């Protein structure tokens, strides 16, 4: 499709996305006029913790971008935190039906973002623990600001990162580093993340990050989108197939795990600690 035609379609999507954002407003989508690349900004105050509503909007946004054959997407945050990960309140004293929908929607978001046909970049403009890290791991390229942290720190909450969280990290930094990171619940500083390959670039500001992200996506301009996306599928297909095959068992494991007394106690203490931190 010619770029002018494509941009016209992108603008139509943007209009729809804006209308949608106006109604719900947890995700803002702006399509760059020149490049056709969408900047997807998470904006659930205060820390973009991923609850059912935010995940649902992310899922709808990704579906819209795929349908409109997006040229690329940059995922970032409107706040100083990229994303605080899963909303702990979705797992603490949960309503079973909501918990089921919550986890299923998280799985859908992972599948859509991990297998997106268009190029994806995470512009990590603040802390990205656990589910925040997972979102960025689904992308093809990660750009991060200094003085932030990123990692799958689930063990620090007394829970275990599911196998597809672990696989997402392993595909980026390898088995050895993933095992060390997961068993300790490590949150990498920006410098540590760069060293281990968990992120690809460090930028000083979000604006610089947006430029770099556009540059990364622009680097595919001369590559056939068909060949590009099939190559991505070749590399990621095994991980996606195994997640999809195991998703019902994964859901049941999640529901059973969060009902355990010990897990509920751990989550309760973690919530208290977060609140005390704010009061101090
Ligand atoms: C085989 C296994 C199979 C199944 C396993 C079963 C279970 C495993 C399931 C899932 C894996 C879990 C994944 C997750 O993502 S769990 C979430 C992990 N997240 C964190 O540990 C981050 C916690 N937050 C922070 O460290 C800081 O908030 C942060 C550095 C992000 C920002 O700091 P800042 O100083 O800017 O803000 P705060 O004052 O700390 O927070 C403001 C406000 O927000 C509340 N908050 C923070 N994070 C969360 C969160 N993740 N969920 C809900 N609420 C959160 C915080 O309490 C404050 O609230 P309030 O006091 O009411 O203002």
**DSSP state at residue 86:** B
CA distance 32 to 39: 8
Ligand 1 atom with the smallest distance to the CA of 254 is 4
Q: What separation in Å is there between the alpha carbon of 107 and the centre of ligand 1?
A: 19
Q: Which token pair is 154?
A: 């689930």
Each of the 280 residues of the chain gets a pLDDT tens digit; together they read 554 555 455 555 555 454 444 455 999 999 999 999 999 999 999 999 999 999 999 999 999 999 999 999 999 999 999 999 999 999 999 999 999 999 999 999 999 999 999 999 999 999 999 999 999 999 999 999 999 999 999 999 889 999 999 999 999 999 999 999 999 999 999 999 999 999 999 999 999 999 999 999 999 999 999 999 999 999 999 999 999 999 999 999 999 999 999 999 999 999 999 998 877 6
> How does strand 201-202 pair with strand 141-144?
parallel
Q: What is the pTM of this model?
A: 0.94
Q: Which token pair is 131?
A: 């589910």
Ligand 1 atom with the smallest distance to the CA of 153 is 21
Q: Are 137 and 172 in contact (CB under 8 A)?
A: yes
The protein residue whose alpha carbon is closest to atom 35 in ligand 1 is 278
**What is the distance in angstroms between the CA of the first residue and the CA of the last residue of the chain?**
56
CA dihedral of 215, 216, 222, 224, whole degrees rounded to 10: -150
CB hemisphere CA count around 71 (13 angstroms):
32
Ligand 1 atom with the smallest distance to the CA of 134 is 15
Q: Which residues contact 214 (CB under 8 A, 6 or more apart)?
A: 32, 35, 37, 74
Outline where the chain has alpha helix (H): 3-23, 52-67, 96-114, 131-138, 163-173, 175-184, 190-196, 206-218, 225-245, 247-258, 261-279
Mutate to test the pocket of ligand 1, among 44, 124, 274 (most ligand atoms within 8 A of CB): 274
Q: What pLDDT is stored for residue 4 in this prediction?
A: 53
The protein residue whose alpha carbon is closest to atom 23 in ligand 1 is 84
CA distance 246 to 5: 40
In three-state secondary structure terms, 38 is: strand
Q: What pLDDT is stored for residue 9 in this prediction?
A: 55
Q: What pLDDT is stored for residue 23 in this prediction?
A: 54
Q: What pLDDT is stored for residue 279 in this prediction?
A: 74
Tell me the ipTM for this assembly: 0.97
CA dihedral of 41, 130, 198, 63, whole degrees rounded to 10: -40
Q: Which token pair is 91?
A: 């797992």
The protein residue whose alpha carbon is closest to atom 11 in ligand 1 is 161
Domain boundaries, the chain: 27-271
Residue 121 is inside which H or E element, if any? strand 120-124
Q: What amino acid positions are annotated as catalytic residues?
A: 86, 131, 153-154
Domain covering 27-271 in this structure, CATH number:
3.90.226.10
CA dihedral of 278, 154, 156, 121, whole degrees rounded to 10: -60
Tokens 């509920």 correspond to 264
Sign of the torsion formed by the C-alpha atoms of 54, 67, 110 and 93: positive
Q: What separation in Å is there between the alpha carbon of 85 and the centre of ligand 1?
A: 6
Residue 126 Cβ < 6 Å to ligand 1: no
């Amino acid at each position: 499709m010619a770029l002018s035609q494509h941009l016209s379609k992108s603008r139509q999507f943007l209009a729809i996305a804006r209308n949608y954002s106006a109604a719900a407003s947890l995700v803002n989508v702006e399509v760059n006029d020149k490049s056709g690349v969408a900047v997807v900004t998470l904006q659930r105050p205060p820390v973009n913790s991923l609850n059912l509503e935010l995940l649902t909007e992310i899922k709808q946004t990704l579906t819209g971008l795929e349908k409109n054959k997006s040229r690329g997407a940059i995922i970032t945050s409107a706040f100083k935190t990229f994303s605080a990960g899963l909303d702990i309140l979705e797992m603490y004293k949960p309503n079973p039906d909501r918990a089921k929908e919550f986890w299923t929607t998280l799985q859908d978001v992972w599948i859509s973002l991990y297998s997106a046909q268009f190029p994806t970049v995470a512009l990590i403009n603040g802390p990205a623990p656990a589910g925040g890290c997972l979102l960025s791991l689904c992308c093809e390229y990660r750009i991060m600001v200094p003085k932030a942290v990123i990692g799958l720190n689930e063990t620090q909450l007394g829970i275990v990162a599911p196998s597809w969280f672990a696989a997402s990290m392993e595909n980026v930094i390898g088995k050895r580093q993933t095992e060390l990171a997961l068993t300790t619940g490590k949150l990498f500083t920006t410098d540590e993340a760069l060293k281990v390959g968990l992120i690809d670039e460090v930028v000083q500001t979000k604006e610089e990050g947006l430029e770099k992200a556009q540059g990364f996506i622009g680097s595919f301009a001369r590559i056939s989108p068909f060949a590009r996306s099939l190559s991505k599928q070749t590399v990621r297909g095994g991980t996606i197939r195994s997640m999809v095959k195991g998703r019902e068992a994964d859901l049941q494991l999640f529901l059973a795990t969060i009902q355990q007394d010990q897990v509920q106690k751990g989550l309760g203490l973690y919530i208290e600690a977060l609140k005390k931190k704010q009061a101090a």
